[in-house]
Amino acid sequence: METRLSSKGQITLPSEVRRRLKIRTGDVLVVKTVGENSIILEVKRKDFVTTTKQEEDILTATAGLWRDRNDIARLSPRH
């Protein structure tokens, strides 16, 4: 995939990349240079921190069943 650099130094990430990596408006991307001709964009994710043993057990038992951390937050007893 290709994208172009704008006059303001901005790039547009192709929608397929945003969808695959679940990147949304406002997400923070870390830019790292590799050698002379390459960069790496890394999505900076907030760590999901559990506060109780019960939540840890639920996450372990249901690993892979959730689409994203928002699904878990909606079902959390704290909400």
Neighbours of 50 (CB within 10 A): 14
pLDDT tens-digit profile of 18-53? 999 888 888 889 999 888 889 888 888 765 554 577
Nearest Cα neighbor of 45 from 30, 60, 31, 33 is 30
**Hunting for tokens 């964009």 — which residue is that?**
41
Of 25 and 77, which is predicted with more confidence?
25
Domains of the chain: residue spans and CATH:
1-45 (2.10.260.10), 47-79 (no CATH)
